[in-house]
Amino acid sequence: MANTENEFRIWLDLQSSHHPAVFDLSGNTPFELHLQARRISNFENDPRELSLLTAGSLFDLPTALDKGLMELVDENTGNVVDQDIASLRTRPDHPKGLFLTLPTDSRAQHHPVQSLALNAATHLRAMVEPGHTYRLRVRDNDLGVQWWGWQAGQSSPSDSTQAELPPGEPRKLVSNRCPPELSIGLSLAEDPGSVKVVITNPNGQPITVATRGPQMYISDSKAPPDPGNRITDGHHPDVRNLEIVDAETGQDLLANAVLRVYPVAGGSGGGRGWSRGNFLTLAPGEQVTCVVGLPVQRLSPGKEYLIRLRPAGCWWTEGTVDDLFGEGNGVIRRWSYGPTLPLMLESDDKVSFRLR
């Protein structure tokens, strides 16, 4: 989805200073979260720099929590942490020094990434408990930015006070689309040694996902590509989408399984394009069902195994396959839709299985 008359999109990512992200409440180990932003080359190539006021927006963590732009979720309880924002240390309400500039670089395929520290250790300390796991979640694609504009050689807005700021861009500054969610349920199938997977679209619009082949979504540059068939592939869902855990030892039998990749028409396949068969459309409320056979030859009779869905991302778009390809077209020769944040294929279901 490109920029519109009402919205201008930028790319966002939330990163921790350490992996895994461990918040040492003693303060002996530094802890910080960084909100990274860059412009999206697929959508615009304006040669000017983009400047935005961070105060009062998603880039201002206490305000973002207060306005509901972000929320802190306790993964141990599933609850959103409710905290009196007045108890958090806020930054002074003055725009000087509170601007983020996103530069342009016409020589590079992607615009440079800018990183802003959120001072998370200070702001979140009163909201967390030892031993719990938390997730800081962006709720919507609205960044809550109160002013942004273009800079082309004139003085930086950081040299101004808020009252002196020139008129800003009227368009709302938003992040690249927030992915929807699909509901995925797991249960034992009637066929022995198989798992039934039911995927439902609970959204009010049709959602199309890439089920196999190269996934054109934004990811950590250090993450290896995963072109394997997703659980949404009704023809060849890869069993590697499942975690099969020995209930006694906790070992995941498929943690190091060989990735099974079926030939597809898309991406790196000699410029042949992307085939309709690589995509699945779910209408609002629609369900699709697939059955995944378990590797029973690797399971021990009598032992209990816990089966869960292994989280995986996939490319997605609103609309149908017909919207994506156009009427009568079976192949997209050139991909012009740009990357998205991935739609995560996840499920809370856990199935217990014992081989007889």
Answer whether residue 1 is part of any domain.
no
Over its length of 356 residues, how does the chain's per-residue pLDDT go in tens digits? 556 678 888 878 777 776 556 777 777 778 888 888 888 765 677 888 999 999 989 999 998 998 889 888 887 888 888 865 545 544 444 444 588 999 875 444 455 778 889 988 888 888 888 888 888 878 778 899 999 999 866 555 655 555 577 888 899 998 876 678 899 999 999 888 899 999 999 988 899 999 987 777 655 444 555 667 899 998 888 888 999 999 988 888 887 654 444 444 444 444 466 788 889 999 999 999 999 999 888 888 888 999 999 988 888 888 888 888 877 678 876 665 655 678 889 998 999 988 87
Total domain count, the chain: 2
Answer whether residue 2 is part of any domain.
no
Give pLDDT, residue 108. Answer: 47
Answer whether residue 219 is part of any domain.
yes
| Same domain? 15 vs 138 | yes
Q: Which range marks the domain in which residue 167 is found?
A: 7-175
pTM of the prediction? 0.58
Within 8 A by CB and 6+ apart from 28, the residues are none
Answer whether residue 189 is part of any domain.
yes
Give pLDDT, residue 267. Answer: 43
| Same domain? 223 vs 284 | yes
| Same domain? 157 vs 189 | no
Give pLDDT, residue 282. Answer: 95
